[in-house]
A and B are shown apart, each in its own frame.
Chain A
């Protein structure tokens, strides 16, 4: 007799047509009988420990793509690119200047502004003496405003 609406799924022990040796019953038992107790994830779930091919053994580290641990953490850069970036950073760090500070630990912001203005004027083709003279005459604010305006499109 054909069953139009089942009372229990195929293979369920309470189903009217239950045969413990049938493939359906074996599969149902595999999915639903857990002698070790309650499972953390259902059978065949990608994170279940007994699912073939799961990646639970792969460590999850901050910023690292677990599937591509060879890439640099956080940036995803290849080793070659990361090395090139480090080399670039090292090269420009050599020319960077420490922040000038006064004896009492306060930052010498006036010197920073003046140096920035002088550097900008020197980039326009003046020597340092001429640049300092121009900065004195024009004022730091005006020079830096011009610098920011010119750099805005870069």
Chain B
């Protein structure tokens, strides 16, 4: 089964009070990928990073309405989940294959404002991410380990500064599975992205919010608990040079020290991708 998660981020340039449709980060899209329509696709979370307070709108004729849809106030300089905050049970908004979501943002008149959404695919053809549930993590998790990397973000509103998970410290055990529990950032941005072949080279991630470390450090566990589906990503250290971390932020750029919280898994506890 091709389970997948994708974090899609975009930016609006000088939106001011006008709800402006976001420009997705390079080569990405807010259009839901084509899937088997019998297998659900879900909108799991959304967050925005505004220098000036604004509104984030997610709408589509296939959702509740195409007028205001899911509309939320974005407070300035606080990248917090605006829907489905994974502190507790979260209702999931169902999405539909190839539906072109309209994601709009208002904010400052002289700044880039960014927003991101997380889409969960229960079966995405051609992609086979490795994800586990909480009982598997509990049963087969062995040791905590952190992976600290430094990401220099670009100031264009796109994802940038990608570095390998072992770019700063190369301490992962060879050929070992690691569950990504969550992570922390020391600098505010829109989103931290994690990508690797184990995740179908689709970007998963969490809000780049340094004041919500308790939330982001267990992000994927909380998300899994909140949505009741296995979405704790698992990577294998054999792929470490192609497991990358990058950041999406506004026109200020910045240097981000990212700590990923990993759990070493028992050998053979996590099936290979697609199994």
Contacts and interface: CB of A to CB of B under 8 A. Distances in A.
B144 interface: no
Interface string A19-55: 0000000000000000000000000000000000000
Interface string B249-275: 000111100000000000000000000
A84 interface: no
B155 interface: yes
Contact of A144 (B158, B167, B201, B252): B167
Contacts of A74: 77, 188, 210-211
Interface string A78-119: 000000001011101111111111111111111011001100
Contact of A109 (B28, B188, B242): B242
A106 B29 CA distance: 11
Contact of B163 (A86, A100, A116, A145): A116
A63 interface: yes
A101 B27 contact: yes
Interface stretch (B61-69, B85-93, B192-200, B221-229): B192-200
Contacts of A122: none
A3 interface: no
Contact of A90 (B78, B203, B240, B253): B253
A141 interface: yes
A86 to B, nearest CB: 6
Contacts of B27: 101-105
Nearest to A140: B241
Interface string A123-154: 00000000000000000110011011101100
A8 B242 CA distance: 78
Interface string B1-17: 00000101000000000
A141 B166 CA distance: 10
A62 interface: yes
B221 to A, nearest CB: 23
A152 B153 contact: no
Chain A interface size, under 10 / 10 to 19 / 20 to 34 / 35 or more: 35 or more
A73 interface: yes
Chain A CB count within 10 A is highest, among B27, B159, B196, B211, for B27
B168 A148 contact: yes
B154 interface: yes
Nearest to B161: A96
Interface string B68-102: 00000001011000000000000000000000000
B244 interface: yes
B58 interface: no
B162 A99 contact: yes
Given A107-B244, A113-B164, A151-B168, A101 B28 contact: yes
Interface of A: 62-63, 73-74, 86, 88-90, 92-110, 112-113, 116-117, 140-141, 144-145, 147-149, 151-152
Interface of B: 6, 8, 25-29, 75, 77-78, 152-156, 158-164, 166-170, 188, 193, 195-197, 200-203, 210-211, 240-244, 246, 252-255
29 contacts: A62-B78, A89-B255, A92-B253, A92-B255, A93-B253, A93-B254, A96-B154, A96-B161, A97-B154, A97-B161, A97-B162, A98-B158, A99-B160, A99-B246, A100-B162, A103-B27, A105-B29, A105-B202, A106-B200, A107-B195, A107-B201, A107-B203, A109-B196, A141-B240, A141-B241, A144-B170, A145-B170, A148-B166, A151-B168
